[in-house]
Amino acid sequence: MALDEKKLKEAVQSLHKHKVKFSQSYDLLVSLKDLNLKNPDDQVEFFTQLPVSPGKKISVCALVGPEMVDEAKSAMDKVVRQSEFGKLQKTDVKKLAKEYDYFVGQANIMPKIAQSFGRVLGPKGKMPNPKAGCIVPPKAPLKPLVDRLQKTVKISARKIPNIQIRVASQAMKEEEVVKNVLTVYDQIVHHLPREENNVRSVFLKVTMSAPVKLK
């Protein structure tokens, strides 16, 4: 059965009252069961869009050729031109990986992007990902992609059967938090081989609180 919406609303109201000196994030914690994560078919990894942006601004870096520089400058937080790829040291790429949430790559230069950035971005799960719409053809409009990424979250359980995902912030309305939680949970269930039969437990918490059990 799906999450009890009444129980979820009560949990959100309770956590909303848990105040500290900053606006805390809501995290959804889902524990999974009866999965063989050595089997790729049982692994979970996908991107989904939330109904409401979870509060934190998502920063995006573009890795592009000369034909996309102007468009990227108008939409992205950072632009790295193809001509600069060979000049970057490993420490420079590590700094970029730390500073930016998503990387967008121009499709026809992806081999060069992989060569220059793959060793650092790959293990961090930050290489431009087609599932998130982050590999784009030359001259593609980038502003709609950046707007979409503000509501995009990556959900992953590939090595351990636990998912912890930031879904909202205390600055949001309670009904917005509920909407985001339900959306993420429904998407997780949809991507499990045996749907809710693979769910062991579900908890919700804010940054500095103990988890509240939902299921």
Architecture of domain 60-149: 3-Layer(aba) Sandwich (3.40)
Task: Write down the pLDDT at residue 160.
Answer: 95
SS3 labels along the chain: CCCCHHHHHHHHHHHHCCCCCCCCEEEEEEEECCCCCCCHHHCEEEEEECCCCCCCCCCEEEEECHHHHHHHHHHCCEEEEHHHHHHCCHHHHHHHHHHCCEEEEEHHHHHHHHHHHHHHHCCCCCCCCHHHCCEECCCCCCHHHHHHHCCEEEEEECCCCEEEEEEEECCCCHHHHHHHHHHHHHHHHHCCCCHHHHEEEEEEEECCCCCEECC
Q: Tens of pLDDT along 37-62? A: 999 999 999 999 999 999 889 999 99
Task: Write down the pLDDT at residue 1.
Answer: 59
Architecture of domain 5-55+152-213: 2-Layer Sandwich (3.30)
Q: List, for the chain, all residue ranges whose pLDDT scores fall below the cut of 50.
A: none
Segments making up each domain of the chain, as ranges: 5-55+152-213, 60-149
Task: Write down the pLDDT at residue 63.
Answer: 98
Task: Write down the pLDDT at residue 23.
Answer: 87
